[in-house]
Amino acid sequence: MTLSRLVGSFVLRHWRAYAASGLMLLGIALLIVWLPRQIGAMVDGLVARQLSGAALWRELGLLLGAGALIYGLRVAWRLQLYSAAYKMGVELRTALYRRLALQGPRFYQTRRTGDLMALATNDVDAVEMAAGEAMLAGFDGTLTLILVVATMTLGVDWRLGLVVLLPFPAMALSFWWISRHVHDASRSALTAFGALNDQVQETLSGVRTLRALGLEARSAQRFGELAQTAADTSFQAQRWEATYEPAVGFTLSAAVVLALGFGGWLVWHGEMTVGQLTSFGMYLGQLIWPMFAAGWVLSIIERGRAAWARLQPVLDEPLTVDDHGTVAALTPGALDAEQIRFSYPGQAAPALDGVSLHLPAGATLGLVGPTGAGKSTLLKLLLRQWHPQAGSLRWGGVPLADYTLDALRAGIAWVPQEAFLFSASVAENIALARPGASRAEIEQAARAAAVHDDIVHLPQGYDTPVGERGVTLSGGQRQRVAIARALLADAPLLLLDDALSAVDTETEARILGALREARRGRTVIIASHRLSTLQDADQIVVLRHGHVTERGSHRALVEHGGWYATQWRVQQLEASLESE
């Protein structure tokens, strides 16, 4: 879809506001065209001594009334048009946000967060201006130009009107040449701003790492370079936009010279009155706005085109995870995986290969294995963040792809390795999945996650803001708040992806004891490097290099004497040494 089609469809949907604005602009244009003609008649009347006294005051009153009416109409059309144009910004930002919210990890692996934020700000603003100010200026300028030129040629003198239009084709050609450069420069400026925005976002997110590594000076230097690039590209765009004005000035100067020369000759030979030449001169002055409007509109449109060229690919990007399911609820059921095979894009070796398992409803599955074995990958497939290339995943006998994404995500409570908290209070973060939860329910979930005692010692208790990404809390506290959030959700399937890695063994034991009570009736999958976390699991699966190498209960695996038994003895020895 081109920018013109986008704006056109928006105008059709909001035609009442645009029609009202157009009628008011038409009224303004007619009044503006009427004023010089009226003033010219007044001049001829004064020269002929036929206008004086009450008649003169009446004519002046009409001029003042017309001026007041023009002012009122200008205010009214702005209220109408801009209120409609701002809706386009809201619609585009909403569409962009919805698209980004539905995209999976594959999309974000190739996109920069700062650049996406720039799309939602500068680029949307540029498109919004094309639907608002460009539409207005284009309609107003074109209408004024047509009426003024028609009045000059048909209402005053057609010969003089044709003469003063001679320089205008050259101006049109220069506008076409300038607009091409404005488009390229505007696109470069928007891209440079996106890179600058991305640098700021990364710096603020990793500010503690930068300080720890002493990289403040290097980061500041990089920011300065990007800021200079953004400034240079924006300045280049402004320089090209500024060239519209000299082209307009030269054209109008040439037109004035022709008007005075040829118009003076007509007055000298008695073929035009002084009042008519005065009116013609005023009409010529009124061409200043249409000419400047033409340059301004072209500039705004080229900025809008450049912005839309960046926005459209993101809005049209196919979803990395299709949402064509029809089952609207995830009810308790058994989980089945059959010969799952999955490889990440660009990776030759599969992350999972031939993985099969069966987990009855309400059972607990433990996933263990060395780093990179595929534990987190399997959980991501259950969350439908990725699609397996082969095999099938079923919940309650229904393929996961047959569930809507909303149903699937509402039915799964997930605690990732790196718990994410929002810039809100502790209570709001816990109640994220159930905003209507009572304080008692929130506290109960916090107790189950062994974080209640930590929360009550915070400055404002459960109402304490945690800062961006939970920066005011420790890693263990963030994990336990995330676990409390998952428990409060009361979803049929609970996924814990190494969610106890940042807590000590004593706290882990308390959380596991609470989980044994809280997880009754729900299916739980726990991926962990700490084998003590999985002792009570109904089934434990050992993954190595994407393959299932062992499976069974904790006791059976220890007796089996494989990788699991070896790791169990090593971790028990480490625990005994730490306790001494």
Compute the distance between CA of residue 44 and CA of residue 202 in angstroms, rounded to an integer: 71
Please choose, from the candidates 418, 439, 423, the residue with its C-alpha nearest in 3D space to the C-alpha of residue 431: 439
Sorted by sequence, the CB contacts under 8 Å of residue 41 that are 6+ apart come out as 275
Domains of the chain: 3-316 (1.20.1560.10), 362-397+497-580 (3.40.50.300), 414-490 (3.40.50.300)
User: Residue 341's pLDDT is what?
Assistant: 92
| DSSP secondary structure string for all residues of 341-377 | EE--TT-SS-SEEEEEEEE-TT-EEEEE-STTSSHHH
Is pTM beyond 0.85? Reply is: no
User: Residue 276's pLDDT is what?
Assistant: 67
User: Residue 234's pLDDT is what?
Assistant: 81
Please choose, from the candidates 542, 525, 541, 539, the residue with its C-alpha nearest in 3D space to the C-alpha of residue 412: 525
Compute the distance between CA of residue 486 and CA of residue 186 in angstroms, rounded to an integer: 46
User: Residue 44's pLDDT is what?
Assistant: 63
User: Residue 194's pLDDT is what?
Assistant: 77
Cα 446 from chain centroid (whole Å)? 34
pLDDT mean values, one per 10 residues, the chain (580 residues): 74 75 76 70 66 69 77 74 75 86 79 80 82 72 72 68 74 75 78 78 71 75 82 81 73 74 72 68 69 73 82 84 80 88 85 89 88 87 87 88 85 83 86 85 86 86 79 80 85 83 72 70 84 84 89 87 87 69
User: Residue 278's pLDDT is what?
Assistant: 66
How many Cα atoms sit within 13 Å of 172 on the Cβ side? 5
User: Residue 100's pLDDT is what?
Assistant: 84
Q: Which helix (H) or strand (E) holds 135?
A: helix 133-150
Compute the distance between CA of residue 390 and CA of residue 340 in angstroms, rounded to an integer: 6
User: Residue 286's pLDDT is what?
Assistant: 66
- Contact of 219 with 210, CB cutoff 8 Å: yes
Phi and psi at residue 470, to the nearest 5°? 70, 35
Q: Which helix (H) or strand (E) holds 335?
A: strand 335-342
Quick check: helix, strand or coil at residue 333? coil
Rg (the chain; Cα; Å): 36
User: Residue 208's pLDDT is what?
Assistant: 67
